[in-house]
């Protein structure tokens, strides 16, 4: 039953609210300074967002988590969106694929370029331009000698001998200072650092400590060289960011133009899944973009920010961030330029996402079934030969293409001898290990297979997490829940490909199992015949061939081999 306003009683406090189904699936996550006032907007006569009526009709309950401040609500909202990936939230596309620059929390920190930052490390990013991130890392290593080796070597390493590392494994003097400088540069505090080093250089020079003064002079030169690089100016050393936004359906492009003293130094492009609310998409992007980097002094946005975001930005920067949505003046030019670039990029992203034949096939399959997308399909098939070597397999199609690293094989453990019960056992084991649900679970079978597995999904409370279908080989008929069967044409080629691939994969696994069982030692599975008795048999008959040619009476003459065991051995050898 759809949730209604009368059944919701939220406090007048900051926090996060979650629209959920009876099965516990989170459909939407939002934040608010006052929860009770914010939730009322979802039940207004004329809602301000197109997706709200559908969200309310599909939700059975609204839960809340109260926080102390709106800033804490912002952080919690971001964490919950990442965890649940709600259908009605805007979110970054493929957010796990972007790299970070990292300084580890070791005694002598090392610099890393990685997509999976270690815990407790200092991180900057993510960077949409992987090449730029690598170039930043190379510059910092060359000018500041930060190590990148996984372990400290008492004899030093190649990087130390060619001048890319100061060698803290041998002499750590001054290494902490170098690391501190790198952190300040990556935090965008290079100007303050240059002033500080300049004062130290002048002080050492006045005291006639010329070697130390020369050291600070070289550091100043290295910092100026680093921040003078175009890539670092465009990403790390800036005082103004202009955010541009453009959309095509549920695909959006967000552009960040980096400007320093009014001169545009470069841009970053971020693809987003857009759910119709520009304010929500832009605010979510800002909270993701600046979580691991220092916000600029001035931020130009296409729409005003949502509750709590301004205070969070100030906290992240350590000083006030001026957020403006310009409508006139010089800043409009920069904001307009950002939007124009976003329009170009969203067209390129749209063409790229639908450009490959495989992705087009996945998109056509989604349209055929009336689904939002069909980019993740899992297909199951079973195999056996008169009850021998009962096995199953699952294959995965990502964006219309086989994802072979995600293929899995299963050996049936129960006593089921028919494909239906075997498939039920295998899929139940698959369900318990899933961290990500597919868009479609496809079965190699017909209506009966569909009914059995649908019942299984209901027992586990996951029937609404993904679509379920069964594809019968006869006339390539696709059976679905409570819908008329479809005879597939070219638009369903992804499903046919997945079914055929599952059939090939499970049969290959089945043949390997049968071949292995034929090549195995028949005496290995004889009950009561251990390693010592087997050695006694081999010595008594002079080898395996002698055991094979022996009768039951011959076997009974061997010490330790009784009548029952002799019969079992003879039966195993002459089965």
List, for residues 111-156, the tens digit of each pLDDT value: 888 877 888 888 876 766 666 667 677 777 877 788 888 777 777 7
The answer, yes or no, to whether residue 521 has pLDDT greater than 70, is: no
pLDDT at 424: 92
The answer, yes or no, to whether residue 232 has pLDDT greater than 50, is: no
In the numeric block, which tokens belong to residue 450? 């569909």
CATH number of 5-89: 3.40.1440.10
For the stretch 207-219, pLDDT in tens is 888 888 887 887 7
In the numeric block, which tokens belong to residue 308? 């709590």
Q: Residue for token digits 């021998």?
A: 388
The angle that helices 175-186 and 130-144 make with each other, rounded to 10 degrees, is 150
The answer, yes or no, to whether residue 172 has pLDDT greater than 70, is: yes
**Whether the domain at 238-353 and the domain at 361-517 fall into the same CATH topology:** yes
Hey, where are the domains in the chain? 5-89, 97-234, 238-353, 361-517, 522-573
User: How confident is residue 498, by pLDDT bands cut at 50, 70 and 90?
Assistant: very high
Summary mean pLDDT of the chain: 81
| pTM of full prediction above 0.85 | no
Range scoring the smallest mean pLDDT among 150-164, 316-330, 510-524 = 510-524
pLDDT at 233: 37
Name the H helices within 207-329. 210-227, 230-235, 278-289, 309-317
Residue 126 preceded by cis peptide, ω within 30: yes
**Domain 238-353: which CATH number of 3.40.50.2300, 3.40.50.300, 3.30.420.10, 1.10.1030.10:** 3.30.420.10
User: How confident is residue 462, by pLDDT bands cut at 50, 70 and 90?
Assistant: confident
Contact in structure between 59 and 25 (CB atoms under 8 Å): no
Fold (topology level) of 522-573: DNA polymerase; domain 1 (1.10.150)
Q: How many helices (H) and strands (E) does the chain have?
A: 20, 20
Contact in structure between 80 and 96 (CB atoms under 8 Å): no
Nearest to 503 by CA among 406, 361, 379: 379
The answer, yes or no, to whether residue 397 has pLDDT greater than 90, is: yes
pLDDT at 237: 39
Class of the CATH-defined domain 361-517: alpha beta
pLDDT at 448: 92
Q: How far is residue 56 from each of residues 47, 88, 372, measured CA to CA in Å?
A: 11, 11, 18
pLDDT at 518: 57
The length of the chain in residues reads: 575
Buried b (16+ CB within 10 A) or exposed e, 412-422: beeebeebeeb
Q: Residue for token digits 């329009």?
A: 343
pLDDT at 235: 40
Q: How many CB atoms lie under 10 A from the CB of residue 57? A: 9
Strand-pair partners of 380: 394, 443
Range scoring the smallest mean pLDDT among 156-160, 252-256, 536-540 = 156-160
């Amino acid at each position: 039953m759809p949730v209604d306003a009368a059944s919701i009683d939220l406090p007048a406090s900051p926090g996060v609210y979650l629209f959920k189904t009876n099965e516990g699936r989170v459909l939407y996550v939002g934040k608010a300074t006052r929860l009770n006032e914010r939730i009322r907007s979802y039940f207004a006569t004329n809602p301000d967002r197109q997706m709200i009526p559908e969200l309310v009709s599909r939700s059975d309950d609204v839960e809340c988590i109260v926080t102390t401040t709106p800033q804490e609500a912002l952080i919690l909202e971001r964490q919950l969106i990442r965890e649940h990936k709600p259908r009605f939230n805007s979110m970054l596309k493929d957010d796990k694929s972007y790299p970070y620059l990292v300084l580890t929390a070791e005694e002598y920190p090392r610099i890393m370029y990685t997509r999976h930052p270690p815990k407790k490390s200092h991180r900057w990013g993510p960077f949409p331009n992987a090449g730029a991130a690598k170039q930043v890392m190379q510059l910092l290593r060359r000018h500041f000698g930060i190590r990148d080796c996984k372990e400290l070597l008492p004899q030093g390493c190649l990087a130390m001998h060619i001048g890319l590392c100061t060698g803290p494994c041998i002499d750590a003097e001054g290494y902490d200072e170098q690391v501190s400088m790198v952190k300040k540069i990556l935090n965008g505090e290079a100007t303050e650092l240059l002033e500080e080093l300049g004062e130290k250089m002048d002080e050492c020079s006045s005291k006639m400590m010329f070697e130390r003064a020369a050291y600070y002079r070289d550091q100043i030169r290295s910092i100026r060289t680093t921040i003078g690089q175009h890539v670092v100016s465009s990403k790390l050393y800036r005082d103004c960011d202009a955010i541009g936004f453009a959309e095509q359906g549920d695909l959006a492009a967000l552009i960040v133009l980096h400007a320093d003293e009014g001169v545009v130094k470069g841009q970053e492009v971020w693809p987003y899944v857009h759910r119709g609310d520009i304010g929500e998409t832009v605010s979510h992007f800002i909270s993701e973009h600046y979580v691991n980097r220092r916000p600029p002094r001035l931020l130009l946005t296409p729409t005003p920010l949502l509750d709590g975001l301004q205070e969070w930005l100030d906290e992240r920067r350590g000083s006030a961030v001026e957020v403006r949505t310009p409508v006139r003046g010089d800043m409009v030019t920069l904001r307009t330029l950002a939007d124009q670039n976003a329009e170009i990029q969203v067209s390129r992203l749209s063409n790229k996402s639908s450009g490959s034949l495989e992705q087009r096939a996945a998109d056509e399959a989604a349209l055929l079934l009336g689904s939002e997308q069909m980019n993740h399909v899992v297909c199951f098939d079973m195999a056996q030969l008169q009850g021998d070597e009962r096995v199953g397999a699952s294959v995965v199609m990502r964006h219309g293409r086989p994802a072979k690293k995600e293929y899995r094989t299963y050996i049936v453990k129960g006593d089921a001898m028919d494909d239906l019960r075997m498939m039920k056992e295998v899929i139940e084991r698959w369900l318990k290990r899933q961290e990500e649900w597919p868009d479609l679970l496809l079965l190699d079978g017909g209506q009966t297979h569909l009914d059995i597995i649908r019942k299984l999904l209901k027992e586990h409370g996951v029937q609404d997490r993904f679509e379920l279908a069964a594809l019968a080989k006869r006339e390539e008929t696709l059976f679905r829940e409570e819908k008329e069967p479809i005879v597939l044409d070219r638009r369903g080629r992804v499903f046919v490909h997945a079914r055929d691939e599952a059939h090939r994969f499970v049969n290959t696994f089945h043949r390997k199992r049968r071949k292995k069982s034929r090549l195995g030692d028949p005496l290995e599975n004889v009950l009561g015949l251990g390693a010592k008795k087997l050695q006694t048999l081999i010595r008594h008959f002079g080898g395996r061939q002698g055991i094979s040619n022996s009768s039951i009476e011959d076997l009974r003459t061997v010490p330790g081999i009784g009548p029952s065991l002799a019969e079992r051995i003879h039966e195993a050898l002459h089965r």
